[in-house]
Structure 1
Amino acid sequence: MMKSIIKEKYGIHVRQLSVYQKYQCFQTPNSFFLIIPVSGFSQSELTELYYMSQYLQEQSDPYVSVFIFTKEGELTFEDEGKTYALLKAPIPVSNRSFSVGGELAEFHRKGRGFPYEVKEAGRIGQWKDLWGKRVDQLESFWMQKIHMSPLEPFEKKMIEAFPYYSGLAENAIQYLVDTELDDNPGAEDSGTICHQRMERDTWSEESLIRIPGDWVFDHAARDIAEYMRSTYLYHRDDLLKDGFLFLQEYEQITPLSSFSKRLFYSRLLFPLHFFETVESYYISHDSEKQYYEEQLDYILADCTRYEQFLQTCHNMMNVRSAQVFVPPVAWLGKGISS
């Protein structure tokens, strides 16, 4: 069905569909195409992402993919009640000399020059409100669950853990507020093209294509923090070596200001992995719930080590500096045994 729709809408003959990362894809003799689901995007947000991709292509980004319009001049098409966009991308190649820190810094450098106002895909300056809303919503849900019985094992664990993670989230929000009050952003702190969630495997030697459906317009600290969080959660053995190297590679292109470092740390303080796991559990199908139960068990068993990770990142942000750019959070690690 998808093949015939693409033939009808774009006039492109698809011989075989395959998968690149999480997206359907296909290749013609001279081009590579990605089919990305966009049902969750408004038309105005897609238009902003379209202009971002065009801009990066004009900046000679070698890995950016761009939207292809249908024959009717539309950005999207429908298939079985879902909305998709077709992207033309560079043919995937492996790049063994790839430096993720340097590539990300260069990507952000180009993105800061984006000349148009971004509304729908914009997140810069919104962290405090978005985090506060997330905490309030889960707290309301938590209050309801406290008075309910019987409870599933997942719910019992969530109820017990929520006060701790709510407290950590409130610390993150306060840290962010203090940063905005006490520090002044520089030119390198202006908004840029970022990722909704920059993870360890978003870019790699075998996975270099930039996909606009993954983007938001935000402060660069978003991507840096989420890359480090992902490395900690899923590639912990590589954290010290790769984490230091990633930051060093990034700062060789764009040194981080004190404002950037404090934003980075406030974002790591916010326990996004806990909130996402709980939220995903309640919207998942029954077949997926066991995965989120195991994720929650892992997170709860790991909270002391996560505090250690936060302390390590605090030290990393202040290393090679004559002054302490990133103030400590006094209570972190008080329960850690030596």
Structure 2
Amino acid sequence: MRTISLEGKTLKKTIHDVYGIKVKELTKEGQFETFQLHQSRFLIVPASHIDEDELYELYQLSQYMIEKREPNIASIVLTKENHLFFEKDKIKYVILKCSPYNQARLTQLGRDLARFHLKGRTYPYQVSKTQRIGQWKLLWEKRLDQLENFWRGKIQSQPLTSFEKMFVESFPYYLGLAENAIQYLVDTELDEEPQPIDSATICHHRFHSNTWNDVMCVKSPIDWVFDHSSRDIAEYMRYLYFEKQEEFKLSGYKFLDDYDRTSPLSSFSWRLIYSRLLFPIHYFECVESYYLAGDDMKLVLEDRMEEILKSSGHYESFLRSYSSMLSMRTKRIQLPAVDWLVNIGH
């Protein structure tokens, strides 16, 4: 933990002017500036990517979850003028007040996430800005079209960096995988009848083991979306698969078990999880990030791309294992097969 220097003085003054809060000391925890006031810890979080209406929705959602007594929800602090954010050097920030520090570690993430989703599902008001449920097909197709057009442009251009060579050569494979995912999603929506558990709830942009800030036990509303619970389940599985291979082997399916025992998943849910795992978001994000990144990050992303391409065969095995695990475990749900994936496995 380090203390902020001169930059901190102007930030302290801004916070005092805008919020009326006198900050004694700013420290850095993880990626955020934080300060302590009485018994509470506050986080200063960049939020330029969120427009004001969306921020207001997130504020309402977090207030609701606090009322529902969900542990460790951070609340957005209002300014003296009752605004949700302040601006400094053309960047928008919110201040989050963390709930009193709770020593309880997240030992059963599957169970805790299921309980979180159960509460979020009871939110009684209209959600529009953060709404993602039912929109995957549209969003995926748009993303795919954009990347395909970009790829066509790159094929024509010379010389290519080593990252671009990898991208140009690998894209047709991932295009195929993405098209499979979209078709799988469409078939699921045609074949399966959604159950009450399939109604929208509070989810996260990308859920992984550090999302609920393990250092301070904080559930931040800044990265929430209103979506189908399978979004969080699939993204956590994907994260474990790529970032924590050993942990995945030991407890990847335990996470699913804990979730399913707490809040039994429908056939519709199991299939949505699979369609989301089929869609290669990890690949898309790597390519998109590379073209937005500064030079120092480009090398990191080049290594990441190499890793993704090297493990594509393993990822296929993972997709097959999800399918066979499910039919063995539930006996009641048989996932429709993706033919080429099954054939590779034989």
1:268 match: 277
Which has the larger displacement, 73-82 or 84-93?
84-93
Amino acid at match of 1:9: V
Offset at 1:92? 3.5
- Paired residues for 1:202-221 under 5 Å: 202-203=211-212, 206-221=215-230
Taking the aligned partners of 2:216 and 2:209, their CA distance within structure 1 comes to 11
Taking the aligned partners of 1:208 and 1:100, their CA distance within structure 2 comes to 12
Taking the aligned partners of 1:20 and 1:122, their CA distance within structure 2 comes to 31
Taking the aligned partners of 1:196 and 1:81, their CA distance within structure 2 comes to 24
2:172 match: 163
Amino acid at match of 1:128: K
Offset at 1:211? 0.3
1:2 match: 11
Taking the aligned partners of 2:31 and 2:70, their CA distance within structure 1 comes to 22
Answer yes or no: is the 8 Å Cα contact 1:100–1:203 preserved in 2.
Answer: no
Offset at 1:230? 0.3
Question: May I ask how many residue pairs the two structures share in their alignment?
Answer: 337
Taking the aligned partners of 2:37 and 2:333, their CA distance within structure 1 comes to 54
Answer yes or no: is the 8 Å Cα contact 2:205–2:225 preserved in 1.
Answer: yes
Which has the larger displacement, 11-20 or 207-216?
11-20
Which has the larger displacement, 197-206 or 292-301?
197-206
> 52, 55, 72: which is aligned to 1:46?
55
Taking the aligned partners of 2:226 and 2:82, their CA distance within structure 1 comes to 25
1:234 match: 243
TM-score, length of structure 2 as denominator length: 0.94
Taking the aligned partners of 2:41 and 2:58, their CA distance within structure 1 comes to 19
CA RMSD of aligned residues (A): 1.5
Change (3 A) 1:184 1:20: farther
Answer yes or no: is the 8 Å Cα contact 2:106–2:112 preserved in 1.
Answer: no
Which has the larger displacement, 260-269 or 242-251?
242-251
Q: Cα deviations across residues 118-171 of structure 1 (Å, max 9, x unaligned)?
A: 111110000001011111000000001111111111111100000000000000
Offset at 1:173? 0.3
Answer yes or no: is the 8 Å Cα contact 2:212–2:220 preserved in 1.
Answer: no
> 224, 248, 264: which is aligned to 1:255?
264
Offset at 1:101? 0.7
- Paired residues for 1:145-160 under 5 Å: 145-160=154-169
Matched, 1:283 2:292: yes
2:319 match: 310
Offset at 1:97? 6.2
Which has the larger displacement, 89-98 or 11-20?
89-98
1:332 match: 341
2:87 match: 78
2:204 match: 195
2:138 match: 129
Offset at 1:207? 4.8
Matched, 1:105 2:114: yes
Q: Cα deviations across residues 193-233 of structure 1 (Å, max 9, x unaligned)?
A: 00000012223754521101010000000000000000000
Which has the larger displacement, 202-211 or 65-74?
202-211
Which has the larger displacement, 129-138 or 30-39?
30-39
> 313, 331, 340: which is aligned to 1:322?
331
Amino acid at match of 2:318: F
Q: Cα deviations across residues 246-296 of structure 1 (Å, max 9, x unaligned)?
A: 111111210110000000000000000000000000010112100110000
Matched, 1:28 2:29: no
Unaligned runs of 5+ in 1: none
Identity of aligned residues (%): 47
TM-score, length of structure 1 as denominator length: 0.96
Amino acid at match of 1:243: G
Taking the aligned partners of 2:249 and 2:324, their CA distance within structure 1 comes to 12
Taking the aligned partners of 2:103 and 2:313, their CA distance within structure 1 comes to 38
Amino acid at match of 1:186: Q
Taking the aligned partners of 1:153 and 1:240, their CA distance within structure 2 comes to 32
Taking the aligned partners of 1:207 and 1:55, their CA distance within structure 2 comes to 21
Taking the aligned partners of 1:117 and 1:20, their CA distance within structure 2 comes to 35
Taking the aligned partners of 1:77 and 1:162, their CA distance within structure 2 comes to 41
1:12 match: secondary structure: coil
Taking the aligned partners of 2:118 and 2:106, their CA distance within structure 1 comes to 20
Matched, 1:95 2:104: yes
Taking the aligned partners of 1:311 and 1:137, their CA distance within structure 2 comes to 29
